[in-house]
Amino acid sequence: MDIESTIAAVSSPPGASECGLLRFSGCDAVSVVSPHTACADLTTRGVTETRVAVGDFDLPATVLAMPGPHSYTGEDVVELLVPGNPLLLEYLVDGLVGSGTSRGLPVRRATAGEFTYRAWYNGRVSLDRAESVAAIIAAESDSELQAARHAFAGDTGRLLTPLTSELTQVLALVEAGIDFADQEDVVAITAGTLTSRVRAIGSSLRDFLASGGGAELERGVPRVVLRGPANAGKSTLFNALLGRERVVVHGQAGTTRDAIEEHVVMDGIDVLLVDTPGDEVQVAAAAASAESGSDLVLWCAPTGDAPAHAMPVRTKRDLTGDPGPESVCAFTAEDVARLAGRIAGAIRTSRQSVARSRLAMSHRQRGLASESRDLLEQVVALAGNDPSDRGLTRPAEVATLLRCALDALGAITGEVPPDDVLGLVFAEFCIGK
């Protein structure tokens, strides 16, 4: 990729807006822009209100000057905030690039992801953080955005750095053992110690993979399951939350025999609400099956304790007179609305808790982490046949597997970045980022 030219692009989102952003990065960024502005000096970091003149247009503009290396790309960066008409923005970029080219300056339009590529190339961000920029742009929910921000903050690197360091130490000991293979009294690392340390690294990698989400975070509708004893008022409450008569309600226990699912919006959240049979012996399996994979379980019963994993809902408040906040009468709109708010709040809290612990992980990163984990499992299988208090019988093969596992982890953060890997990463970006 050409890193000598100054690059330019519209860096604001597509569509009309009050303001649009033009970005220029490279050693000639100031020379490209300054003849078209009334600014006296763009070589000093700062923000200036001015005007930009390109062709027939003379427009108000805010100019942000960020000299390298203390900029996002590590190069001189100049940004222009101008009126956000999409056609105008494209015209200005073409005009400024054309002006610079006519003066012999190496300036061109940026390709997809090129600003972030230069940030990586100049050591401003690691490869895993660079990929997280694309995840931030592509995020379609708050949880995805949160996960991507965790990754951009460097959480991926912080999790992997101790693992790569430990793996490097283990590999060094194995290779030292190869160097002293002709001296039987020298054992750099025993088979038992090796397998113990490699298992620990593999376990941490499994935890790392479990934390990965981002673009792969669940986008499915949360399932809320109503459970409880027979004739506890679940179906009546189900109809009340739906706002219509969906299931038959009868005083005889066992009227509901199968799980019934319906979509409903609760406090702005789309929910799949599931009514289940009462927890009597002959239909308990159907209720338990419906609960499997649920995001929230409501334990609906007039009296008694709810299971630890479920949200308690005291039904039939009109009959029991229970004044508690968990009590609800399905025939009272205020009670039903309050319960819907509790359900929506519980789902939001649960998803925020999950998002806080998750990272945006690309398919490439997940594949490399899985590859490294699998290679470490091969090491354990290979060394596990050796006496635990002796050296390795096949150290060269173990060293090769460890080296490959280490290379796979290094490729995640960009420590060993083949050109084809970089091409795949930055090709997924949009122009101007």
Q: Where are the domains of the chain?
A: 6-124, 142-215+361-413, 223-356
Of 80, 75, 77, the closest CA to residue 121 belongs to 75
Q: What tokens does 182 get? A: 């002709």
Mean pLDDT of the chain: 82
Helix (H, G, I), strand (E, B) or coil at 300: strand
Query: Could you tell me how many residues make up the chain?
Result: 433
- Taking only the tens place, the pLDDT of each residue in 349-407 is 776 555 444 556 777 788 888 999 999 999 999 998 888 888 888 889 999 999 999 98
Residue 191, number of CB atoms within 10 A of its CB? 22
Element (H, E) at 17: strand 17-25
pLDDT value of residue 288: 58
- Taking only the tens place, the pLDDT of each residue in 184-210 is 556 778 889 999 999 999 998 888 887
Question: Degrees (nearest 5) of the Cα angle 424, 10, 26?
Answer: 75
Write the CATH number of the domain with boundaries 142-215+361-413: 1.20.120.430
Per the CB < 8 A criterion, the answer to whether 353 and 172 are in contact is no
Give the CB-side neighbour count of residue 206, counting CA atoms within 13 A: 10
Does the pLDDT at position 6 exceed 50?
yes
Per the CB < 8 A criterion, the answer to whether 190 and 177 are in contact is no
Of 430, 103, 92, 135, the closest CA to residue 78 belongs to 92
Residue 227, number of CB atoms within 10 A of its CB? 27
Q: Which DSSP letter does residue 44 get? A: S
Give the pLDDT band (50/70/90) at residue 315: very high
pLDDT value of residue 137: 75
Report percent pLDDT > 70 for the chain. 80
Helix (H, G, I), strand (E, B) or coil at 314: strand
d(CA 360, CA 358): 7
Helix (H, G, I), strand (E, B) or coil at 80: strand
pLDDT value of residue 134: 76
- In sequence order, which residues have a C-beta less than 8 Å from that of residue 312 and are 6 or more positions away? 299, 305, 306, 326
Does the pLDDT at position 286 exceed 90?
no
- Return the biggest CA–CA distance within the chain: 89
d(CA 359, CA 61): 38
Does the pLDDT at position 36 exceed 50?
yes
Burial of 199 (0-12, 13-18, 19+ CB in 10 A): middle
d(CA 405, CA 151): 22
pTM: 0.54
Element (H, E) at 19: strand 17-25
Which architecture does CATH list for 223-356?
3-Layer(aba) Sandwich (3.40)
Fold that domain 6-124 belongs to in CATH: Gyrase A; domain 2 (3.30.1360)
pLDDT value of residue 104: 96
Average pLDDT (287-305) is: 76
d(CA 339, CA 430): 43
Q: Quick one: how far is CA 275 from the chain centroid?
A: 33
- Taking only the tens place, the pLDDT of each residue in 247-260 is 665 445 444 456 78
